[in-house]
Chain A
Amino acid sequence: MKIAICSSSVPFVQGGYRNIVEWLEAKILEHGHQVEVLYIPQDDGAQTHLQQFAMYRLVDLAQSADRIICFRPFSYAIPHDHKIVWFIHHLRIFYDLWDSNLRGFPDDAQHRGLRDRLRELDTAALVEARKIYTNSRIIGERLKFYNGLDSEILYPPIHNPENYRDLGQNDEIACVCRIEEHKRQHLLVEAMRHTRTPVRLKLSGRCADSLYSQKINQIINENGLANRVSFENRWISDQEKFDEFANCLASAYLPLDEDSFGYPTLEAAHSSKPSITAIDSGGVLEFVRNGHNGFVCHPDPADIADKMDQLYWNRDRARIMGIEANKTIGELEISWSHVLGKLLK
């Protein structure tokens, strides 16, 4: 079968939205099909959304592809008789973030008109799909609320889960992801001021915002935490990441209002390690259940510190929670065989 995987992209910006496309490409190729990946550059900040939406209607894959699988807005606008949508997010400033300070333009008649038209166009394009999957329950709920559309959850697996393993427990809480304000690594560092055990924290990931990296370093230095907090401001290699999760005590991932459970949660679970997250971390809560396969804290340094200490003191419990995290992967059917069974049926 000839399958086109379609998404939009911002040139030179990496992220989970590319991972899901490229990992799916590899898995479909392994399955013996032909795959073409199509990224259309898109400027989400431009005031030309309607024109950009219309552009996708001009993309013609009707004769060349037997099936198309679409991801990011507005790739699902590409017309095709056999269109599958794996919906990973809306253009959120026109949806759930409309009333937030991220909107960046006034709430006036002109922009409300643009918002309403985009929602109508999204709905009309998505209705064309034979099937809509979402990468989390939250996304599915938004799709139902804003577009009135039913969907099925299809959680995205990581690329080669067999590389993750459990080699024991050191004293570290590992946080491996982009280092950004909304990922809230600063809360983890501040939590280290309140811990009563020798538990350690290791932050790994690229920080593109120099002000935020300064803030992290400032908290570390002003509180004398340098001997217990490690800050690796870079993308670590895959092997370093496998080793980090294999040996850590637990993982921490507490983004603000995330759309999905987040790859770090899954990487920790494949390594049989529990995760610390927060009650306002959005899709992460679809995976992490408090006291079962991790801890769900208040986004408060003292509460986070308490959970870090509990993991340090009660390693048997931490180990059992890690095993439960690993079992959760199966319970939520997070596997490539499940994904391919859905997308290729």
Chain B
Amino acid sequence: MRILLAKCFRPFETAPSDRLAMELMARIREAGHLCELVRVPETDPENLKQLMMTLEIENTDRLVCLDSPSHEIRHPCRILVQLFPLAPAKSHDAFKSDDAVVARVLLSPETGGDQAGVLESMSRVAGRDKTRSFANVGELAAHIIG
């Protein structure tokens, strides 16, 4: 399966979520799938939203959106993820540990185009018990692949 991860980032900086994304990509590849990471540089929120909404994603079986701005990207098979790094101030090694990160995955491909719509959908989906939490990157990778 061709799995594309997407997130925004600050150029020339490495945030905890960037390390987590790399770890997730490595886990998915280890499982025998193709995986790439698309990173979009942060800019003001309105421009970032427009940018994400305009992205054309082809040749991809599954899109995994790793932060709120990237939830705007259109694709017929999306998994929306919110990442909650527990120890952003700790050393890089913290993110190699399986219990250092909690990720909540929202399983709806049907979110609306604007941020309010996304949040509303997240809440609604959560109410239908389609929100899953994962204690580590390995569990999250297994869920994405599955």
Interface residues of A (CB under 8 A from B): 2, 4, 10-13, 34, 36, 38-43, 45-46, 48, 51-52, 54-55, 58-61, 64-65
Q: Which of B40, B42, B54 contacts A51 (CB 8 A)?
A: B54
Supposing A12-B36, A41-B38 touch, asked if A64 and B11 sit within 8 A by C-beta, the answer is yes
The CA-CA distance from A64 to B11 in the complex, in Å, is: 6
Nearest CB in chain A: distance from B34 CB, A: 5
> A42's closest neighbor in chain B, by CB?
B56
The CA-CA distance from A60 to B40 in the complex, in Å, is: 10
Q: Which of A36, A39, A43, A59 contacts B51 (CB 8 A)?
A: A59
Contacts of A52 in B (CB 8 A): 54, 56
Contacts of B104 in A (CB 8 A): none
Q: Is B124 an interface residue (CB 8 A)?
A: no
> B44's closest neighbor in chain A, by CB?
A60
The CA-CA distance from A36 to B36 in the complex, in Å, is: 16
Contact A11 B60 (CB under 8 A): yes
Q: Which of B36, B40, B54 contacts A54 (CB 8 A)?
A: B54
Nearest CB in chain B: distance from A146 CB, A: 24
Contact A40 B40 (CB under 8 A): yes
Contact B57 A41 (CB under 8 A): yes
Interface residues of B (CB under 8 A from A): 2, 4, 10-12, 34, 36, 38-44, 47-48, 50-51, 54-60
Nearest CB in chain A: distance from B7 CB, A: 13
Nearest CB in chain A: distance from B91 CB, A: 21
Contacts of A13 in B (CB 8 A): 59
> B39's closest neighbor in chain A, by CB?
A38
Contacts of B40 in A (CB 8 A): 40, 59
Contact A59 B43 (CB under 8 A): yes
Supposing A54-B54, A55-B55, A64-B10 touch, asked if A11 and B2 sit within 8 A by C-beta, the answer is yes
The CA-CA distance from A52 to B53 in the complex, in Å, is: 10
The CA-CA distance from A185 to B56 in the complex, in Å, is: 33
The CA-CA distance from A38 to B8 in the complex, in Å, is: 11
Nearest CB in chain B: distance from A290 CB, A: 39
> A45's closest neighbor in chain B, by CB?
B58
Contacts of B11 in A (CB 8 A): 2, 4, 36, 38, 61, 64-65
Contacts of B59 in A (CB 8 A): 10-13
Contacts of A40 in B (CB 8 A): 38, 40, 55
Q: Which of B12, B54, B57 contacts A36 (CB 8 A)?
A: B12
Contact A55 B38 (CB under 8 A): no
The CA-CA distance from A60 to B44 in the complex, in Å, is: 9
Can you list 11 A-B pairs with a CB-CB distance of less than 8 A?
A: A2-B11, A2-B12, A11-B59, A12-B36, A34-B12, A38-B41, A42-B56, A52-B54, A58-B50, A60-B43, A64-B11
Contacts of A12 in B (CB 8 A): 2, 4, 34, 36, 59-60
Nearest CB in chain B: distance from A72 CB, A: 14
> A46's closest neighbor in chain B, by CB?
B56
The CA-CA distance from A65 to B11 in the complex, in Å, is: 8
Contact A60 B12 (CB under 8 A): no
Nearest CB in chain B: distance from A216 CB, A: 25
> A55's closest neighbor in chain B, by CB?
B54
Contacts of B54 in A (CB 8 A): 48, 51-52, 54-55
The CA-CA distance from A46 to B81 in the complex, in Å, is: 27
Q: Which of B51, B56, B58 contacts A58 (CB 8 A)?
A: B51
The CA-CA distance from A310 to B144 in the complex, in Å, is: 57
Contacts of A55 in B (CB 8 A): 50-51, 54-55
Contact B56 A39 (CB under 8 A): no
The CA-CA distance from A95 to B123 in the complex, in Å, is: 48
| Additional A-B contact list (15), CB under 8 Å, known A11-B2, A60-B44 | A4-B11, A11-B36, A11-B38, A11-B59, A12-B34, A12-B36, A12-B60, A34-B12, A38-B11, A38-B41, A41-B38, A43-B58, A60-B47, A61-B41, A65-B11
Contacts of A48 in B (CB 8 A): 54, 56
Nearest CB in chain B: distance from A64 CB, A: 4
Chain A CB count within 10 A is highest, among B11, B40, B43, B59, for B11
